[in-house]
Structure 1
Amino acid sequence: MTVADLITTITDMYRCLGDRPAFDAHLNPGLTIWESDADGLLSGLAALDDLRDRRAAQAPAPSPVTVAPEQFHADAWGDTGLVRYVLRARHGGDRPDECFRVTDVLRREGDAWRIVHHHAEAVR
């Protein structure tokens, strides 16, 4: 598996956004997560689901038209991968894009890469 496989994994994951089981298939169940809107380090899919549910319960905001990673920098060392990228959420009308700086650490599990740590920071 190559660096290109890491980028494909991240790109495929965001294509699944909105389909939790398909999205979560790219995640190791024990992953750790830093998110700009979380109070501390999240650990595991249950904690991620809790964050997702809290976000959904907030005042509804228009959904982005697209969400896609860009500006990739990726490295792989054996069964460990590191991908850095900008995640851009594009909105319709005159609402500005939202961007996040993201770092994902991945581990090869069988024939697939899975994220074991995700760090996303909103760019202001």
Structure 2
Amino acid sequence: MSNRTGGPVSNGAIDSATDAGADATAIAAGIDDMYDAFLAADRARFDRHLHAEVTTWETHLPGTAADPLGAGRLPGRRDTSGARPGLDRLAAEDKRIDVWGDTGVARYVLVAEPTGGPAQHSRVTDVLRRVGGDWLIVHHHSELLTGHG
């Protein structure tokens, strides 16, 4: 992980770069676990990384940031786009994470490799808050990159 200047993380309002580094490491591990949970079809584990009022902007989803993700995750409304493709790999790459107190921002490229198909790359920004000691995503923005890969 690095910030724009090549350092481990921006420490913003954090007094200790060590604390900021540990927080950035925890955020990165949470993002990796979230996508591992997705591959394992473990919705409960996946959802543990999301704030109850998380909002999302994604290329394939309708709505605006004012629409909580939870509204689309209710039984009967989740995955309305149809069956998900089988994925051989789903990974966050080139993570850049900054931490300011109880707020963090993670930027990365999400690589989805469907079984038998070309990899898709999305540019992702997650905004996180520390809640009860856990880093939870409060806003997720993902844009499918075309002509990449």
| TM-score in terms of structure 1 length | 0.87
Of 6, 16, 35, 2:58 maps to 35
Q: Which has the higher strand share?
A: 1
State the alpha-carbon separation in 2 of the partners of residues 61 and 47 from structure 1.
Answer: 16
Structure 1: tracts of 5 or more residues without a match: none
> For 1:84-109, what per-residue CA distance to the aligned partner results, in whole angstroms no more than 9, with x for missing partners?
0011111333x210111100000001
Letter paired with 1:98: Q
Query: Which consecutive unaligned segments of at least 5 residues does structure 2 have?
Result: 1-21
Moved more, 44-53 or 101-110: 44-53
More displaced stretch, 36-45 vs 106-115: 36-45
Residue range with higher mean Cα deviation, 44-53 or 75-84: 44-53
Q: RMSD of the alignment, in Å?
A: 1.8
In structure 1, what is the Cα distance between the partners aligned to 2:85 and 2:61? 21
Partner letter of residue 14 of structure 1? Answer: Y
| Regions of 4+ moved over 3 Å | 48-52
CA distance in 1: counterparts of 2:77 and 2:108, whole angstroms = 22
Question: Relative to structure 1, is the Cα distance of residues 90 and 84 closer, same or farther in structure 2, using a 3 angstrom cutoff?
Answer: same
Determine which of 111, 117, 120 is the counterpart of 1:88.
111
Q: What is the rounded CA distance, in whole Å, between the counterparts of 1:113 and 1:62 in structure 2?
A: 28
